[in-house]
Amino acid sequence: MKIVVCGKGGCGKSTIVSFLAGQYARDGHRVLVVDTDESNARLNRILGMGAPKDLLGYFGGKKDVMEGFRKSREEKSENSICNWAIDEIPEGYISKKGNMNLVAIGKIHEAGEGCACPMGVLSKKFISGLNVFKNDIVIIDTEAGIEHFGRGIDGICDVIIMVIDPSYESLRLSDEVSRLSKKIDVPLYYILNKTDENTSAYLRRSVKEKDRIIAEFPQDSKILSAGLIGEEYKGSISGVSDISEKLSSSVA
């Protein structure tokens, strides 16, 4: 199963990716987290893992990636690129911890180095080419907003999770994500995050398609502290095991 996690900036996408990845790994799944966010470079820390090398580097960097993909299109050999199972991903470009694996597509490292389009192209190639087995769970962390829809990432996934924090922007974005998910016919679920009693009630009143809400994580000072020092959150998280069950039944 391929799960893509999206939402507005800072709503808690990466944190929730780490919760889900931990849960699936504890349940005995082989988990691959794919970091497609070209700006934020601390997902490995949240997962308590070492940082893999940018996958973009395996293909020679930005310029070579675009050139390589152009050639393969001309030669109609697109499918031969990145056609890997999780255990075939080249060493150094994947970090491992128990059942958990992490791949990072590529980051912006220098001012003026050019846009993130090659990362978008590679993200789609990598995710669509992945050879996923029954016990594998692929969780894709995205950049803030909805560019991943434009890149075609959501359309190659089995389920979309949108994280909604208590903000007008998140509510507005949930309408847009709902519209887009219907167009590509991929199931969409919401996770409310960083709520308290009042904001929870407000969000639950305001979200249009309430049956999409599958979990809620209240504002928690220990999660915030872990985020502040850039560390894995090791406390227990109630409700996370229900999510995996709901997702499995929705795509079965």
Using the minimum distance from each CB to ligand ATP, give the nearer residue, 159 or 161: 161
Site string for Mg ion, 4-43 (x = CB under 5 A): ---------xx-------------------------x---
Q: Name the amino acid, one letter, at 228.
A: L
Using the minimum distance from each CB to ligand ATP, give the nearer residue, 78 or 220: 220
Q: Least Å distance between CB 225 and ligand ATP? A: 8
10 binds ligand ATP (CB under 6 A): yes
Stretch that binds ligand ATP, among 58-66, 122-130, 151-159, 215-223 (CB under 6 A): 215-223
* Footprint (CB under 6 A) of ligand ATP, residues 39-58: 40
11 binds ligand ATP (CB under 6 A): yes
Strand segments (E) across the chain:
2-7, 30-35, 95-97, 100-104, 136-141, 159-164, 188-195, 213-218
Stretch that binds ligand ATP, among 7-15, 65-73, 75-83, 202-210 (CB under 6 A): 7-15
DSSP class per residue in 74-103 = HTT-GGGTT--BGGGSPTTS-EEETTEEEE
Please report the sign of the dihedral spanned by the C-alpha atoms of residue 242, residue 247, residue 248, residue 250. positive
Tokens of 201: 């009630």
Residue selected from 72, 167, 219, 250 as contacting ligand ATP according to rule CB under 6 A:
219
Pair 128, 156: CB distance under 8 Å: yes
